[in-house]
Amino acid sequence: MTETPLKLSILDLVPVRGEQTTSDALRASKSFVEKADALGYTRYWVAEHHNMPAIASSHPAVELMHLGQNTSRIRLGSGGVMLPNHAPYSVAEQFSLLAAVYGDRIDLGIGRAPGTDPFTRMAMWGHLGEGQVVNREGQPIDPVENFPQHVMDILRLLGPEGLDVELFGDRKHTLRATPKLDVSPAAQVWLLGSSNYSSQLAAVLGLPYVFANHFAGRGAQQAMQLYRDQFEATQFGRQPRSFMTANVVVAETEEEAWNLAQPFLYQMANLRVGAPMRSMPTVGRETDEVMSAGHRAVADKLAQTYIIGTPTDAARQLRELAAEGGVDEVMMQAVAGGYPDEDLRTSVARERTLELLAEELF
């Protein structure tokens, strides 16, 4: 019996390590996506996070316009746009513009988390210093509550029918995102999430779904099954389509893979214990010096949900993960750290992860 080929894709947070500047990190990620494009990876998505010194990925549409310049075949997308931070029309316009440049290679992944801390979130929403945001009736406003409607607004703005809007109760108009395209990006809108809520919403809307396993670490099987069981065919999708994510580090030896994983594990442990975020430490002494016993305990627990090892072991674990989720594609966040003496404009170990897995799986 022939084994179904596993498609591999990339999620990039554009990590900032050691003495790297944001410019260095973006140059490293540009080289990274070009390597993925050449090796045959399916997608390259960038995330949205704000006010995090260790992450340079804050505005996916802006970054994709730059990072995709020298690619020719890989799909480019957001993993994802955190919709509560944005006006739906603005998102629709940005991704229409990307599609005008890159054609039908553009994916719009949408999530409902803020991607930041409460203070930055208020600044993102334009209410810094105002405390709780309320409407005219004095009721609290939370853009997250409007998430389903805003997703539908984007789909209609990107679609041929447009979005019907009413102004002051009597003036009506149909809006469509510009630039207008021959092929609508609405066909490649994905819903992202790490809970049953997101999987069920994707199912009801008939949208493809991505389970953020790299973040949640559990619950994938239930969420994926709910998505498939409750999927309703709509104009946005006739059949369920889904994949899941994973944190991955691959090296020639297991020992080296674990060494390369330590800086990212430290960062994630730091986040879990509520410590201030700084740029990612480099592999070796710099990570060892900041990794306290408390961090180590958290990091060891997190590592149980990661894929860390040799190409053969990692390929096996990726296939097992795909089988558990009932998918034929896994999007990996390649989280290998860098050594102190490396060129700051590169991410050698992350690119090596791509090469080793491509040799094993493609």
Q: Could you list the pLDDT tens digit for every one of the 362 residues in the chain?
A: 456 789 999 999 999 998 999 999 999 999 999 999 999 999 999 999 988 888 999 999 999 999 999 999 999 999 999 998 899 999 999 999 999 999 999 999 999 976 666 666 666 666 555 555 555 555 556 667 889 999 999 999 998 889 998 877 677 889 999 887 766 666 699 999 998 999 999 999 999 999 999 977 788 899 999 999 999 999 999 999 999 999 999 999 999 999 999 999 999 998 888 877 788 999 998 888 888 888 889 999 999 999 999 999 999 999 999 999 999 999 999 999 999 999 999 999 999 999 999 999 99
- Asked if residue 45 lies in contact with residue 13, where contact means CB atoms within 8 angstroms, the answer is no
User: 79: closest CA among 36, 105, 46?
Assistant: 46
Phi–psi pair at 243, nearest 5 degrees: -150, 175
Percent of residues in the chain assigned helix, strand, coil, to nearest 5? 45, 20, 35
- How do the domains of the chain map onto residue ranges? 7-361
**356: number of Cβ within 10 Å:** 19
Measured on CA atoms in the order 90, 227, 11, 22, is the torsion positive or negative?
positive
User: For domain 7-361, is the CATH number 3.20.20.30?
Assistant: yes
Q: Strands, E, within 269-323: which ranges? A: 307-309
Structure tokens given for 45: 């998505």
Burial of 292 (0-12, 13-18, 19+ CB in 10 A): middle
* Placement of tokens 């973006």 in the chain: 26
- Asked if residue 345 lies in contact with residue 29, where contact means CB atoms within 8 angstroms, the answer is no
Q: How far apart are the first and last CA of the chain?
A: 18
Confidence (pLDDT) at 362: 94
Confidence (pLDDT) at 142: 66
Q: Side chain identity at 89, as an amino acid letter?
A: Y
Query: Could you give the dihedral angle defined by the CA atoms of residues 172, 177, 183 and 189, in that order, rounded to the nearest 10 degrees?
Result: -100
d(CA 319, CA 223): 19
d(CA 12, CA 334): 8
How many residues does the structure list for the chain? 362
Please indicate, yes or no, whether the overall pTM of this predicted structure exceeds 0.75: yes
User: 58: closest CA among 116, 123, 122?
Assistant: 116
User: 116: closest CA among 191, 59, 197, 193?
Assistant: 59
Exposure string of 148-172, with b = 16+ CB inside 10 Å and e = fewer, is eebbebbbbbbbeeebeeeeeeeee
Confidence (pLDDT) at 122: 67
Confidence (pLDDT) at 171: 79
Question: Beta strand pairing status for 171-175 and 189-193?
Answer: unpaired
- Asked if residue 229 lies in contact with residue 286, where contact means CB atoms within 8 angstroms, the answer is no
* Placement of tokens 């691959």 in the chain: 250
d(CA 346, CA 355): 15
